[in-house]
A = this chain, B = another copy of it.
């Protein structure tokens, strides 16, 4: 493996130590070493937390920051945090106003968050949840509850974090974050697989000359494997999947988020975005704000995800609010 590693069993701890040292002006470790929290959480607000497996940087800990998440629970590589880590993240974030736990739809996370919610109740902390399910490729439209959460989670955190920072109560924060994810659809295309450090070889295969449409962040199979095509055709394929699902239509104002999966040069994300923007313009869809970069990755996987969120006045205001974390800085 051509990687920067010590003992793969220690990678999450060492990464966390490095992360906390590098960003000590902004974040600190929780009492639980698998929790990262904002320094000086503003008083009196609803807590906002998230959590998930490691290897998706900036997700999840990179979205702990000002007007974003107050704390995050950290799992092993591509593996859910424990229920106790989610509970401890809630404890760090709670100020008696309750905690919104905004996370992605994976069986391990669902199980651990559910347990954490019960445990929190016993210690007097109200935790309500929003489960991101923006990945169109992972289940039919009439089974949205089965869909995975992918890069749309970033917009969910942005919106939920901003609502809490505005002074929204728990139900308002939950409603805003739920609206954000309900208004959001994503799809990914994978070009090369990734290797879990402790395994040492790719845990799935993408043959050279092919691409996997609808791939998940852990290599979960998508809609189909097809011969690799030009960036313009990829853009058309991605918009053809995402746009009809919501559906996004002429006159809609949207946020567009194009994220690399880790190893794709950022230059290529702009090539892809260039064509996505053309397609949206042709359809009369108005891009209100765009994010292009590595916002939600999968170790050294190559490829990209496209996420589109339809805006209303409330979402616009929340998306526009300044934010500051390792993964998302916005004036």
Segment from A39-47, A151-159, A227-235, A240-248 that makes contact with B: A227-235
Interface 1/0s, chain A 1-16, versus B by CB < 8 A? 0111110000100111
Whole-angstrom CA separation of A156 from B191 in the bound complex: 36
Asked whether any CB of chain B lies closer than 8 Å to the CB of A198, the reply is no
Stretch at the interface among A82-90, A97-105, A294-302: A294-302
Within the oligomer, what is the number of copies of this chain? 2
Whether B6 and A270, one on each chain, are in contact in the complex, defined by CB atoms closer than 8 angstroms, is no
CB-CB under 8 A from A324, the residues of chain B are 331
Is A22 in contact with chain B by the CB < 8 A criterion? yes
Tell me whether A2 and B300 are in contact (CB under 8 A): no
Q: How large, as a class, is the contact surface on chain A? A: 35 or more
A279 at the interface (CB under 8 A from B): no
Residues B14 and A231 in contact, CB atoms below 8 Å apart: yes
Report the minimum CB–CB distance from A135 to chain B (whole Å).
Answer: 19
**Among residues 116 to 137 in chain A, which have CB atoms less than 8 Å away from a CB atom of chain B?**
none
Once the chains bind, are A55 and B273 in contact (CB under 8 Å)?
Answer: no
B-facing residues in A175-221 (Cβ within 8 Å)? 191-192, 206, 208, 211
Alpha-carbon gap, A291 to B23, bound state (A):
8
Q: Which of A41-80 contact B (CB under 8 A)?
A: 54-55, 57-58
| B contact residues around A17 at 8 Å (CB) | 270, 274
- Chain B residues with CB under 8 Å of A191's CB are 2-4
Max chain B CB contacts within 10 Å: which of A22, A277, A329?
A22
Q: What is the bound-complex CA distance between A259 and B17, given in angstroms? A: 17
CA distance A8 to B57 in the complex (A): 29
Contact A274 B57 (CB under 8 A): no
Task: List B contacts of A16 (CB < 8 A).
Answer: 270
Set of chain B residues within 8 Å of A15, measured between Cβ atoms: 267-268, 270-271, 274
A106 within 8 A of B: no
Q: Are A22 and B270 in contact (CB under 8 A)?
A: yes
Whether B2 contacts A267 by the Cβ 8 Å rule is no
Q: Determine if A321 is an interface residue (Cβ-Cβ < 8 Å).
A: no
Q: Is B300 a contact partner of A270 (Cβ separation < 8 A)?
A: no
Cross-chain contact B268 with A5 (CB below 8 angstroms): yes
Known: A18-B273, A266-B294. 19 other contacts (CB 8 A): A2-B191, A2-B228, A3-B191, A3-B264, A4-B191, A4-B271, A4-B304, A5-B231, A5-B268, A5-B271, A6-B232, A14-B274, A14-B275, A15-B267, A16-B270, A262-B263, A263-B300, A265-B299, A294-B294
Residues of chain A whose beta carbon lies under 8 Å from any beta carbon of chain B: 2-6, 11, 14-19, 21-23, 54-55, 57-58, 191-192, 206, 208, 211, 228, 230-232, 234, 262-275, 277, 287, 290-294, 297, 299-300, 302-304, 324, 326, 329-331
